[in-house]
Structure 1
Amino acid sequence: MCPVPAPQFDLLPTHTMLSLEQVERSLERAGQSHVLQFWPELCEEDRDKFLQELSHLDLEGLKDHCEGTARAAASPPASLDQHIEPVPPESIGSVRKSDQSALSQWENEGLLQISKNRVGVLLLAGGQGTRLGVQYPKGMYNVGLPSGKTLYQIQAERIRKIQKLSDTKHGSKCTVPWYIMTSEFTLAPTEKFFKENNYFGLEPSNIVMFEQRMIPAVTFDGKVILQGKGKIAMAPDGNGGLYQALVDNNVLEDMKKRGLEYLHVYCVDNIMVKMADPVFIGFCVSKGADCGAKVVEKAYPTEPVGVVCRVQGVSQVVEYSEIQPETAELRGPGGELVFSAGNICNHFFTRPFLQDVAEKFEGQLKQHVATKKVPYVDTCGNLVKPTKPNGIKMEKFVFDVFPFSRNFVVFEVVREDEFSPLKNADGAATDSPTTARSSLLAQHCRWATAARATLLDEHGNILPPTASVSAGDSPPAQCEISPLVSYFGEGLEELLKGKTLPTPFILDEKMAKELQAQ
């Protein structure tokens, strides 16, 4: 994927139903008359649906969208190597390199802001679980933990716990609202899933779901793709569609009404994500930042993650495909990578900054080309599932607002503690259900041993403390700690110190009460 200047194109949020003649004229002007080639074969109901869908489209902008998309896909990405430099040290905080007093100070600041109802979280959940091999939203995925919890449940419980920690410290009764950006594909199943699970113990009025816009997929020669005789192949406009969706769905007004000042934005697929992380929030607030990004140190020079850096003095994310190998391999005097700040889609924004982006900068966001295998109907009306990329989807990225920030900061965290994404089906070398599950269970084993518990394997042998789990490794033990018991390893010593725990072991609220009573 590469950033390119391309025309802006969107579904219209409000529309009037157009006549067939109006649609025909508009499609002809756009050079897309083939969209109606199967019209005579459609029944009345399908015609109505299709006409409604076409009325939603920005037909006036369709010609520019299709031609611009084809042009963008044919353009090689510009080389940025001579223009990039690392983020300056004064804009960086680090869990590894900061002293304990600074970390405590930031955490206290974050918990204070949470206790005053100034912090919300926003989940980017518009994508489908295609690479994962499932036909439902990723958040509903069960990664195979001993408890059987899904990603949504884990995240909901972390919100409940951080509210409780803030309330305990400040004597408050706070709320961390949860905004969830879905797409046409994921909204209905996500709403149903939350309802069936009683919103995982959260107040339904504090969970706000909204849809991002959809845009047509286009062939390499600039033609809209039909996925059915009466259906255009549509795709979400990328996680950078967030900023337009905030406006379309009056989400910024909702935030203002609730008194929110700070937002933690993250992607659904990171099983280790710290919801409304008080240390991150506190660091950003203390620095007076309007925009911030969490990063992890790149595992190796060519790791396929974007790099947070500066280009001609402006903060942004440069995709790994846009950096030459020799630049990626540059090292500093201590042997560390010069461009080591790996982007993990975990961001801080102030509400006024989001308002500014929505009002002034949204139209300037870059568009990115993603080539995809898009199912389509051929000229005979047969459905074809391509084996190689045949279409282009244009996407905006959530991090492309960094250049508009007046005070941008970076916060480096430890990968083993905070980043293990779920992207691929099992069998893949990385980012699979197995690696995500193993990362979380290994973290919980570290927490238990740090709390001075002794873990036994299934044969009764004592397990050694563990530092990390590599991709494909099994965790040392099936030890799972509910977020309702501990948000990030805190409070475990009083429960586990001196205890010998046979595994598999699930430390949930019920078990915590039993241990307390012992």
Structure 2
Amino acid sequence: MSNYAEIREKFEKSGQGHVFKYWGGLTDSQKSRLLSQLEEVDLEEIAHLNETLLFANKTESQVDFSRLEPAPYVKYSENKEADPVWQKAKSVGEEAIRAGKLAAFVVAGGQGTRLGYDAPKGTLPISPVKHKPFFQIFAEKIRCAQEKYGVEIPFMVMTSIINHTQICDFFKSNACFGLNPEKVVFFKQGFIPSVDKFGKIILSDKGEIALAPNGHGGCLRAMVRSGAIAKLKELGVEYISYFQVDNPLVNIIDPYFLGFHILGNSEMSSKMIPKAYPLEKVGHFCIYNGKLCVIEYSDLPASYQEMRDENGGLKFVAGSVAIHILNVDFVEAKGADDSDCKLPFHVAFKKVPFLDQGGNVVKPEKPNGYKYEMFVFDALESAKNPLVLEGLRCDEFSAVKNKEGIDSPATCKRDQKRQFAEWLEAAGVSLERDSEKTPVYDIEISPLFASNKADFVEKWNALEKKPEIRDGLYIE
């Protein structure tokens, strides 16, 4: 612990010396852990965030909503195969994929705590028949694309300090689900201390500070700092397919999306899904001060979320579902430590475990601390030619956020079954569905057979002997 004196002096000078309050009673291992945490803390950044976000006391939104307009987007084509614009995009996208210019990237730093699952969220069993975890579904979708396009596709997995070892071990014990281990890149998301109303770093235990993820926007910084971007450049990768770990329906390797991104000469493009109902908890793609941005549902007044256009539809209908394509060069520029165009931090008032005056750990029932985080969609405002493409909910999106009810494992499995049923029906198969259009029995189609409807229909029709449609049907 030769660095103890130096670190303590830095924290004392910054007004954060209280983190050493219980130092004398810590074991050697606890002291070592605390010092390793403190070494990672950027005290100048914390002081700047306290000054500009916490002490500025900006209680009201800085957005003049009267100047907000819905963002334009490329509308989904119901007949893509006959649409020359979509076919051109597909051709360009497929050419880039075959040339090895696309990598997949999943943000997977969280645990399944809210779901009652004590492990990394990506390891949660989620498919309806084989109960495959998220990570396996994603890996199989990438393998499907690799076989189709004759190329190895790098897969980047952003973990966190709370689950990095578990995730790496999970992939290793499953032989990377058939992917080349050398092309699966793991790196940790950044963390930042939570602070109290005075800007003081919160102790979550006597030898531990309260660290929180720095938001999904921290992935840009993490990709650069970890060397992941440098590795992608070595491999000749130019584009990154970004998605989050809780959405098994995501179309990871989408040639249409990539093609529109390339043809639009965009640095960052996004998928949008029309909102299912006015107050759905998704961000909204908007134009503000002439720039594309995302306004979170928690920041947009309900009157705007419910606002109608001249045709009676929702005015702000374009929902953000965390599906993007980013240029590697753009990420490198935005994520660099010396960048002049870093993503901004936001402050959120949250429940943070803390120590009371007696040194006892308290789990608060109400918000008591402030967390600083970055949002990846903030990069849209500085991206050249940002583009938004419409996708279909049934093809693209079914997130798992809650243990029960809406956006739960149950609704996600239902949506997967509906997708598989739609593919089978497109191939001429008759299926029995209930009043909510869900198949009455469990079925599952592996991405190793097909990862989209068009490919499924082609492969199904080529089968000499087709399987019986029954409960528990699994097609691989």
TM beyond 0.5: yes
1:183 positional shift = 1.2
Task: Kindly provide the CA deviation profile for residues 148-186 of structure 1, in whole angstroms up to 9, marking residues without a partner as x.
Answer: 20000000000000111223xxxxxx1111011111112
List aligned pairs for 1:365-376, cutoff 5 A: 365-376=343-354
State whether structure 2 residue 77 is matched by structure 1 residue 92.
Answer: no
Residues 457-477 of structure 1 deviation map (CA, whole Å, 9 limit, x = unaligned): xxxxxx1599x76xxxx6532
Any gaps of 5 or more consecutive residues in structure 2?
none
Partners of 1:325 and 1:144 in 2: CA distance: 35
What is the 5 A alignment of 1:78-477?
A: 78-88=62-72, 92-96=74-78, 100-101=82-83, 102-143=85-126, 145-167=128-150, 174-359=151-336, 361=339, 364-426=342-404, 429-455=405-431, 463-464=432-433, 475-477=439-441
Distance in 1 (CA, whole Å) between partners of 2:376 and 2:236 is 23
Post-superposition offset of 1:17: 6.0
The residue that corresponds to 1:460 in the other structure is none
Contact 1:219 1:225 in 2 (8 A): yes
> Structure 2: how far apart are the matches of 1:384 and 1:284?
48
Letter in 1 for 2:74: I
Code of the residue aligned with 1:327 in structure 2: it is Y
Letter in 1 for 2:293: Q
Task: Classify 1:448/1:98 alpha carbon distance in 2 versus 1 (closer, same or farther; 3 Å).
Answer: closer
- Alignment of 1:487 with 2:451, yes or no, is yes
Check whether the contact 1:371–1:389 (CA below 8 A) recurs between aligned residues: yes
Gap change, CA 1:377 and 1:111, over 3 Å in 2: same
SS in 2 for 1:153: helix
Q: 1:68 Cα shift? A: 4.5
- Cα contact 2:441–2:470 (8 A) shared by 1: no
Q: Deviation digits for residues 272-304 of structure 1, max 9, x if unmatched?
A: 011121121122122222210000001122212
The letter for the 2-side match of 1:392 is Y
Q: Against the structure 1 CA distance between its residues 329 and 138, is the aligned structure 2 distance closer, same or farther, given a 3 Å change threshold?
A: same
Corresponding residue number in structure 2 for 1:19 = 4
Q: Residue deviations 1:302-355, cap 9 Å, x none? A: 212111121110111111222222222222232222211100000011222223
Please give the alpha-carbon distance, in whole angstroms, between the structure 2 residues aligned to 1:329 and 1:253. Answer: 44
Kindly indicate whether the alpha-carbon contact (under 8 Å) linking 1:93 and 1:412 is maintained by their aligned counterparts in 2.
yes
- TM-score, normalised to structure 2's length? 0.92
**1:93, 1:283 within 8 Å by CA — same for their partners in 2?**
no
After TM superposition, give the deviation of residue 495 of structure 1 in Å: 3.3
Look up the equivalent residue of 1:476 and give its one-letter code.
V
Q: Give the whole-Å Cα distance in 2 for the aligned partners of 1:230 and 1:494.
A: 62
Q: Which residue of 2 aligns with 1:39?
A: 23
> Would you say how many aligned residue pairs link Structure 1 and Structure 2?
470
Identity of aligned residues (%): 34
Deviation at 1:26, TM superposition (A): 2.8
The whole-number CA distance in structure 2 between the counterparts of 1:365 and 1:65 is: 13
Whether the 8 Å CA contact 1:94–1:413 is kept in 2: the answer is: yes
Structure 1 residues 60 and 349: CA distance shift in structure 2, 3 A: closer
- Does the CA contact (< 8 Å) of 1:445 and 1:465 recur in 2? no
Normalising by structure 1, report the TM-score.
0.85
Change (3 A) 1:439 1:72: farther
State the alpha-carbon separation in 1 of the partners of residues 54 and 329 from structure 2: 36
- Distance of 1:363 and 1:333 partners within structure 2: 38
Which deviates more from structure 2 when the two are superposed, residues 378-387 or residues 395-404?
A: 378-387
